[in-house]
Structure 1
Amino acid sequence: MPDAPVSSPLLSLPGMDTDRGRIEAAMRAAVVTSDPYLTEIASHLIVAGGKRLRPVLSVVAGRLAGGAASDDVVQGGVACELVHLGSLYHDDVMDEAETRRGVETVNARWGNLQAILAGDFLLSRASEIAASLGTEVAGLLARTIGWLCEGQIEELRHTYDVERPEASYLASIHGKTASLYGTAARIGGIVAGLDRPTIEALTTYGNAYGMVFQIVDDVLDLTATDQQLGKPAGHDMEEGVYTLPVLYTLATGRGSADELRALLGKPLAADERDQALAIVRSDEGIERTIVAAREHVAAAVVACDDLGDGLAVDALREAPGALLATVLSGAAG
């Protein structure tokens, strides 16, 4: 569940640099233990950096109550980000990945057993923080971890499946990615004491934003250069994970779909991956995927109608479209 490159209006809000500093400090403090070895492993990807969009979303939600986000709102966002990081530790073991965010993965540096246990540790710390914020937040975070697992299982059961239904893809990315954005926004609203209609609107917004986020990432995996990605383009396709642009290309019924189908369904050699990439890039699958992403952008914008007015709401309204625009410029580049 990688971070797509994004310049978000959420990051340009007044005081957000200060709030991101609070988030960063709280994340580092959350993984400090009496064992320096475990602390180093658990903080490895925290130190590597990131835009922290999930806790940023919690903070923006918390600002809707008026004034700065409270420390508890920041902690709620941190809990969500620790769940995300824990899932990355586990993902890298499953993918046998060697690098993440420009540094060695935990599994590459310390081994699979340490990576699995450190990922579990991050999930435990997230759960501990959530419990300190009340039973509703604790239950919500627990459910979200379950949704992440369900999304991953849905993806795994269709690995190398050229007949993968579109519904499977959408269910998978909702579980793996969108649900955590929805939870981050919802926790921000709950902890800030917002009314229930606003909390529900924030949840709808976060889910829709998360869908755009993952679709963006999947398009970039196929359209960006190896240098931009920091890994070979088409990595998901090579690993048998057929995302929406690939599924739409396969569904065209044209000769290009037959060519792609003949290549897929098994691990790809480098030259086969390049052939498959050329087919997907030249067909209508990417364009159709962008149309699908726009539907989620629209859903997020509509949800903002129930959030009131102000700079924070303006940034929320602009953020999904800005994310998709980043993908479009990346695809054009």
Structure 2
Amino acid sequence: MASLRQTQLRLSRRRDIFDEALEDFVQKRLSGTQAPAMALAREVLLAGGKRFRPILAMLAYEAAGGEDNDEVMDLALAAELIHTATLVHDDIYDFAKTRRGKPTLHANYGLAQGIIGGDYLFVLGFGLGGRYDAIIVEKMADTCANIASGELLQLHHIGDLGTTPEDYYAIIDGKTAGPFATACASAAILANAPEVVVNALEEFGWEVGRAFQLVDDLLDLTGDTSLGKPRGSDVLEGKMTLPIIHALTMLHGVEREQFADVLQNFGDDRWEELIELLTFAGSFDYANQLIENHVDRALQHLEKLGSNSATELMADVAKRSRNRKL
């Protein structure tokens, strides 16, 4: 595995290429009848971020033998636009006032503008993907539908102490892992890669996306501020993340009742109690082991492509997704 600094530099070069393309796309839309909508969306699009999804699309294209970076750029842009749309809508569902330390779109401009702004980004992203072959368009359509389905399923299970691991994976596959998988598979199709390569990259995306979400869940419980939201936000909102589901399964008797009470009456004053019970249940170790399993499977799928500069960087991304040191 390359050093952290080497990996960051290689990712930074691709991020700079993508950010330049994104800025150019935004500027072209800041005129004509769409100008007001794009002006609204501009600040969330250009607010920064690690650009995991578009960079993975670019890397998957290279790994699959693609040579024309311009050809994959609309796909990368589509991935980021759709992802940003989900963030705008997530902030509304979660009543979030800030993201990455800045006011959310609906907090700045109002609920109606936030909803429309998110819708606009979804349509823009899907429109960019619409110029590709039907199989890519179909994948993107399915992904957008599954994002909505995953979000609805998560809302259905808010505060539901009977949520199962299967429910959890159905949610994150729709909301998080699916978009990763689609970005990788679509890029490989665009590169005219054989089916075995397309499938391997798609499975890589699924596994990295699952690991990515599990790390998110743990960061929320460790009080890490890199997510741009207060510690315990998921618990406060009643979201049933996998460490919580695991603890509910493993705890019994008095401890199970105490844990349920913490979840249903959560506040900062019960933070230490929450962490102690999760630790006692082995839920942190359990989640970390699942992250390792997903990363290992992602690397196994990547090995089917052989070694080149793109697959090596993708492997580094997968390994470092364990702790988000990118």
Q: TM-score, normalised by structure 2?
A: 0.90
Tell me how far apart the structure 2 counterparts of residues 271 and 87 of structure 1 sit (CA, whole Å).
31
What fraction of aligned residue pairs are identical, expressed as a percent?
28
1:204 match:
203
CA contact (8 A) 1:10 1:315 kept: no
In structure 1, give the amino acid aligned to 2:243: P
In structure 2, give the amino acid aligned to 1:161: D
2:240 match:
242
In structure 2, give the amino acid aligned to 1:172: I
CA contact (8 A) 1:10 1:60 kept: no
CA contact (8 A) 2:298 2:318 kept: yes
Give the length in aligned residue pairs. 320
In structure 2, give the amino acid aligned to 1:272: R
Which whole-Å deviations, capped at 9, do the CAs of 1:28-61 have from their partners, x for residues lacking one?
3475352543222111211211111101011001
Deviation at 1:107? 0.4
1:81-120 equivalences under 5 Å are: 81-120=80-119
Tell me how far apart the structure 2 counterparts of residues 230 and 318 of structure 1 sit (CA, whole Å).
24
1:307 is paired with a residue of what secondary structure?
coil
2:74 match:
75
2:151 is paired with a residue of what secondary structure?
helix
Which whole-Å deviations, capped at 9, do the CAs of 1:56-80 have from their partners, x for residues lacking one?
0110011125475421201101111
Q: CA RMSD in A?
A: 2.4
CA contact (8 A) 1:13 1:312 kept: no
Deviation at 1:307? 1.3
1:233 match:
231
Greater shift after overlay, 16-25 or 293-302?
A: 16-25
1:125 match:
124
* Cα distance change, pair 229–129 in 1 and its aligned pair in 2 (3 A): closer
CA contact (8 A) 2:85 2:119 kept: yes
In structure 1, give the amino acid aligned to 2:88: Y
In structure 1, give the amino acid aligned to 2:218: V
* Cα distance change, pair 63–105 in 1 and its aligned pair in 2 (3 A): same
1:298 match:
296
1:3 match:
none
CA contact (8 A) 1:76 1:130 kept: yes
Tell me how far apart the structure 1 counterparts of residues 21 and 82 of structure 2 sit (CA, whole Å).
14
Which whole-Å deviations, capped at 9, do the CAs of 1:196-219 have from their partners, x for residues lacking one?
211111111011110010000001
1:331 match:
none
Structure 2 portions without partners, runs of 5+: none
Which whole-Å deviations, capped at 9, do the CAs of 1:241-284 have from their partners, x for residues lacking one?
021111112222345333111222x3533323553244325541
1:324 is paired with a residue of what secondary structure?
coil
Deviation at 1:128? 1.1
CA contact (8 A) 1:150 1:175 kept: yes
Tell me how far apart the structure 2 counterparts of residues 198 and 66 of structure 1 sit (CA, whole Å).
10
1:271 match:
269
1:133 is paired with a residue of what secondary structure?
coil
Tell me how far apart the structure 1 counterparts of residues 105 and 42 of structure 2 sit (CA, whole Å).
10
1:127-206 equivalences under 5 Å are: 127-206=126-205
Q: TM-score, normalised by structure 1?
A: 0.88
Matched, 1:28 2:48: no
* Cα distance change, pair 13–156 in 1 and its aligned pair in 2 (3 A): closer
Tell me how far apart the structure 2 counterparts of residues 100 and 209 of structure 1 sit (CA, whole Å).
23
Matched, 1:55 2:54: yes
Structure 1 portions without partners, runs of 5+: 1-5, 328-333
* Cα distance change, pair 274–230 in 1 and its aligned pair in 2 (3 A): farther
Deviation at 1:110? 0.4
1:1-16 equivalences under 5 Å are: 9=7, 12=10, 15-16=13-14
Greater shift after overlay, 108-117 or 290-299?
A: 290-299
Which whole-Å deviations, capped at 9, do the CAs of 1:115-173 have from their partners, x for residues lacking one?
11111111111111111122222111111001111111121111101111111111111
In structure 2, give the amino acid aligned to 1:318: D
Tell me how far apart the structure 2 counterparts of residues 41 and 163 of structure 1 sit (CA, whole Å).
40
1:233 is paired with a residue of what secondary structure?
coil
In structure 1, give the amino acid aligned to 2:102: V
Tell me how far apart the structure 2 counterparts of residues 204 and 184 of structure 1 sit (CA, whole Å).
11
* Cα distance change, pair 9–151 in 1 and its aligned pair in 2 (3 A): farther
* Cα distance change, pair 10–144 in 1 and its aligned pair in 2 (3 A): farther
CA contact (8 A) 1:9 1:315 kept: yes
CA contact (8 A) 2:29 2:35 kept: no
